[in-house]
Amino acid sequence: MSRVVPVAVAGVALLVSVSAVQAQLFGGRRDAPPPVPQSDQLDPALCDQIASIPNAPMSPEACRSMMMMQQSMKSASSDPSAVRPGDESLSCEQITAEMKQVGGPMVSQETAAQARTAADAQLALMEKQNAEAKALMAQQMAVGIGAGALGMVPGGGIAASAIAAGQQAQAQSFAQRQQAEAAPVYAQTSRSITATTTEMGQSMQNNPRFARLMQMTVDKNCPPPPDAVDPRR
């Protein structure tokens, strides 16, 4: 079995991320994975609105590439040669198992390596920035407790207000630094998404059965397979 197959299966996770971005833009429940929108439900304007999200998870170009991949998937899945008796009764686990059997290398080795590198960079960024955010929160909490006590002292209100204003400025500066640091990493991720979805869209046109299986995971709202969570595998 090709080591590139998990990257192909990860297309399910890519499709899920479209609806996650949509939820971030327009709100919605966060206690359950949102259903993946069908290709005829995807609004191209969503991709343009992504640019308005601070630290957007992907570029508008990557978003459009994902939408094109889903359209290719739906088109290829309608091929009569892709249909098998009993498809309707397959469970999510059975669909995933067959995807791994018939998928084959859906992307090039170069694109798979690009996806792993992007995943490594994003994971490292997330761990670093989370640690920095926790440290800042602990520092501001300690100072805030002191400022609160100072505010109870006669004449201490002005000093307490100055401390609060300084903390707010520090937090804003911190957010700007993190955003600037994240920008090239998100750009790298967007390039990886665009390359992966472009190649997968073409591969699904060449492999209608895989496209149908992938469409079935969307129709059944199957969760992403475990090996789609980490494309470095």
List the chain domain ranges: 5-228
Which pLDDT belongs to residue 86?
A: 93
pLDDT digits (tens, 9 = 90+) for 2-48: 343 444 444 444 444 444 444 434 344 444 444 444 445 556 677 88
DSSP for 104-159? ---S-HHHHHHHHHHHHHHHHHHHHHHHHHHHHHHHHHHHHHHHHHHHTSTT-HHH
Terminal Cα-to-Cα distance of the chain (whole angstroms): 13
Q: What is the pTM of this model?
A: 0.64
Any residues with CB less than 8 A from the CB of 108 and at least 6 apart, and which?
4, 199
Which pLDDT belongs to residue 84?
A: 93
Which pLDDT belongs to residue 39?
A: 47
pLDDT digits (tens, 9 = 90+) for 215-225: 888 888 888 76
Which pLDDT belongs to residue 140?
A: 66
- Judged by DSSP in three states, 44 sits in coil
Which pLDDT belongs to residue 26?
A: 38
Stretches where the chain sits below pLDDT 70 are 1-44, 104-105, 140, 142-160, 163, 225-233
